[in-house]
Amino acid sequence: MALIVHKYGGTSMGSTERIRNVAKRVAKWARAGHQMVVVPSAMSGETNRLLGLAKEVAPAKADDAVHRELDMLASTGEQVSVGLLALALQAEGCPAVSLAGWQVPVRTNSAYTKARIESIDDKRVRAELDAGKVVIITGFRGIDDLGHITTLGRGGSDTSAVAVAAALKAAECLIYTDVDGVYTTDPRVVPDARRLTTVSFEEMLEMASMGSKVLQIRSVEFAGKYPVPLRVLSSFTPWDIPIAEEAASGTLITFEEDEKMEQAVVSGIAFNRDEAKISIWACPTVPASRTRSRAPWPTPTSRSTSSSRTSRTTARPTSASPCTATTTRAPSTCSRRRSCRRWAPTASRATRASAR
């Protein structure tokens, strides 16, 4: 049997009843002989509640010291989830142990609130798996070289699950959410949207970057870099469905197949409501360097006896067609004087008048 990583989102862990259903599902896979590692998120709304409390008491100016304490606070939501899930699994008669990120350990840099994973030590996890236990690891959090708790930013539990799967060389990482897979577009907007059975990492990365919120973009990047097969499926299906049926459901995210290579295939449409487009029209096309080096155009005053002086004082550039010729050249000596629109007709008349 294989080593499988399950990841459950905040909605799937939203209440004690849902946590019991998650425990039954995980126990089913464990009894089938699989080695199970579970990475749950905090209960739905818990992280926002904790950060809301912090906002009421935190100083107005945030520095590294403030961000460190925010990580200490926000990371407690995942610790509650792993403890409750371990208790629920034990109630199902399935041995389980919960581990915080620093107990694994999951090593990160010191960028508080948006840390990056640097390494994961799998020795302790493998020892617990060999002892026949389900290992439950906090997502979203890790520890830096100084021993400070760090968090990976919003959606960090997805990244944690994929990173753990890569470190353990898991056969597959199953991401359980409140949807039953990746759709061609948002089914709440387009009722006829179809669920995809497979999608490549490149396509999923594009969709995630353009607004699809099924997976966090960093988790897709991680899975593509350390090839980890991902499957997105729903946690709201009955927990007791056959494993073979459950393992084939949802959407499998994997490498692009040869028959699709270089084909112009549209897999899905993603959009983002939080963007605006600004268009600027009628901008000058003269390069900035020429604009800075050129002296301001004088206003025409009176006709002069010098043809070159008159042409310079009365010549006016038109914005319709910027000239690439030397700007100080007189119209009488310019090779483009017959077709160039830079020089206004008044310049030619002034030149002819002064010549007479």
Higher pLDDT, 20 or 225: 20
What is the reported pLDDT for 212? 65
Q: Is residue 285 part of a domain?
A: no
pLDDT tens column, 284-297: 766 655 555 555 55
Residue 346 pLDDT > 70 = no
Q: Is residue 274 part of a domain?
A: no
Burial class (CB in 10 A: 0-12, 13-18, 19+), 174: buried
Q: Is residue 275 part of a domain?
A: no
The domain of 31 spans: 3-260
Tokens matching residue 221: 């990047």
- Range 156-170 average pLDDT: 93
Q: Is residue 276 part of a domain?
A: no
CA pair distance 262, 221, nearest whole angstrom: 21
Tokens matching residue 6: 């399950």
Letter for the amino acid at 116? R
Alpha carbon of residue 97 to chain centroid? 32
Q: Which of 29-33, 63-67, 202-206, 336-340 has the lowest mean pLDDT?
A: 336-340
CA pair distance 332, 307, nearest whole angstrom: 8
Q: Are residues 43 and 105 in the same domain?
A: yes
Cis peptide before 105 (omega within 30 of 0): yes
Q: Are residues 250 and 323 in the same domain?
A: no
Identify the band that residue 58 occupies on the pLDDT scale cut at 50, 70 and 90.
very high
Q: Are residues 218 and 312 in the same domain?
A: no
Q: Are residues 80 and 224 in the same domain?
A: yes
Residue 173 pLDDT > 80 = yes
Q: Are residues 230 and 320 in the same domain?
A: no
* Count of the separate structural domains present in the chain: 2
Tokens matching residue 21: 């259903």
**Considering the chain, what is the average pLDDT of its residues?**
80
Identify the band that residue 214 occupies on the pLDDT scale cut at 50, 70 and 90.
confident
CA pair distance 74, 138, nearest whole angstrom: 12
Q: Are residues 313 and 171 in the same domain?
A: no
Q: Is residue 280 part of a domain?
A: no
Instruction: Point out the domain boundary residue: 260, 281, 310.
Output: 260
Q: Is residue 289 part of a domain?
A: no
Edge to edge, what strands does the sheet with 172-177 contain? 96-99, 134-137, 35-40, 3-8, 172-177, 230-234, 251-254, 198-200
